Structure 1
């Protein structure tokens, strides 16, 4: 990340001396599109008004969300619908962070759900597109439940 992005990380994302500072951190192990493990981090900033998400723990894809965006992601997980929320990227400004049902040709949406769940309760994908790159994180079965619980905890912690 260039100097401008690092300055934004320090001023708007709670970083001090090149490292993140946070009031609380959550981490969830999920998958890349190639089905290798990755960890997504959620940092509640010290002001407790924003949370920074590091999809797959990659700082160049970090985005800052407010309470409204976190609530929308949580509601989307409950309905298994799709949404895109406004997120602030340190270098590219306002971007859309999306959450949608996973539609991979190799993974039918109905295959990764409890036996008694309706077909639409399949895996979900968190994604972010930047002008020069993008990232996708897949949440399957128990990881999806962990994401739902984590977002509920974050909503309670936000002011």
Structure 2
């Protein structure tokens, strides 16, 4: 994990209904967000301010979106949000997913965890707004 100035954590669940936390770190440059789905480096995606703003805009309207992370070597990780339907829940859950060349992860946010995800991404967008 990178050195960070501020950290946000949001609990979600895996598609198999296991607990899964996503960590959002504002890095010390105060311009980059490191997103750690599953709270691990294995699925980390680095995003700049305009990508967080784009995620926030689409999340506000429940519209699917996928953004490119900052390139690490020859790889370009991707992070996305999309509405999902759960067999045990009414409409409304959102899935955050990260894709890397050899791995991917999905984290589902529903009810209170979805509120926390929306608030976290909105706060990150506000913090980074002067940069955009």
The residue that corresponds to 2:112 in the other structure is: 142
The whole-number CA distance in structure 1 between the counterparts of 2:71 and 2:95 is 19
The residue that corresponds to 1:98 in the other structure is: 80
**Displacement of 1:96:** 2.1
- The answer for unaligned runs of 5 or more in structure 2 is none
Q: Give the TM-score taking structure 1 as reference length.
A: 0.74
The whole-number CA distance in structure 1 between the counterparts of 2:66 and 2:73 is 19
**Displacement of 1:41:** 0.2
- Judge conservation of contact 2:48–2:70 (CA < 8 Å) in 1: no
Aligned in 2, Cα 1:134/1:48: closer, same or farther, shift over 3 Å? Answer: same
Q: How many residues align?
A: 129
The whole-number CA distance in structure 1 between the counterparts of 2:4 and 2:36 is 13
CA RMSD of aligned residues (A): 1.7
Q: Give the TM-score taking structure 2 as reference length.
A: 0.88
Point out 4+ residue stretches in structure 1 off by more than 3 angstroms: 89-92
- The answer for unaligned runs of 5 or more in structure 1 is 1-18, 113-121
2:38 to 56, 76, 88: 56
The residue that corresponds to 1:65 in the other structure is: 47
Q: Give the greater-gyration-radius structure (CA).
A: 1
